[in-house]
Chains A and B, each alone.
With several copies, the nearest count.
Chain A
Amino acid sequence: MSDAIRLLDIRETALSSDEVLAAVADPSAGGTALFIGTVRNHDDARPVDQLTYEAHPEALAHLRKVAERVCEGADVTALAAVHRTGPLEIGDAAVIVAVAAAHRDAAFVACRRLIDDLKAEVPIWKHQHFTDGASEWVGAC
């Protein structure tokens, strides 16, 4: 497994950008790009008040595959990705990914790819609860 991968986790407890940044800290890195996906108070202008994430039992293995591929070929110094499951409030962090590299271009490109591939390939689902009482599984209605 690429030793650039410093932290991969899917957990019920609150996420921390400090934890992720500490995980990718490296004296040879000149730039760290980080992305935080947070719970928005609306979805297509429809007010949301609560969100619940569900992950497949093997989701972490899928996340590892995504992380490995981001590290291949790219000059990634360090990488971390953590995803939250369970109930979240507005403003809570649902996912935090970060990549450190010698230069900012590699860090940005790899970080963007990491979040894009995570969203496309890791079996995680979002149950959105609207203030009007309705709720739906995002992407399945």
Chain B
Amino acid sequence: MPEVTIRYFAAARAAAGESTETAQASSVKELVGAVSADRPELARVLGICSFLLDGERVELTTPLYDGAQVDALPPFAGG
């Protein structure tokens, strides 16, 4: 099982109470599940996030490799 890092931004960070976290997960979906366990507010926010892996937009089904860093991006609100 790959050891991966998730980086939280804006509302995701507020819900997680930290900027980054590591977990064992072989897909984005598993990663979200792992970090959301018994953290309902984080689960809620991650549920409306999009995810980046190596600068590219990825889906929940995207597989993860050891050392991967996934960014959790709440809906954008620029401008």
Contacts and interface: CB of A to CB of B under 8 A. Distances in A.
**A interacts with B:** yes
Interface of A: 37, 53-56, 58, 61, 83, 94-95, 104, 115, 118-127, 137-141
Contacts of B79: 37, 83, 94-95, 104, 115, 118-119, 124
Interface in B1-27: 9-12, 14
Classify chain B's interface size: 10 to 19
Contacts of A137: 10-11, 14, 74, 77
Contact of B55 (A58, A115, A122): A58
A125 B48 contact: no
Contacts of A118: 78-79
Contacts of B75: 139-140
B55 A125 contact: no
B13 to A, nearest CB: 9
Best-buried of A83, A122, A137, A139 by chain B (most CB within 10 Å): A137
B9 A56 contact: yes
Interface string B38-79: 000000010010001001000000000000000101111111
B55 A140 contact: no
Contacts of A94: 78-79
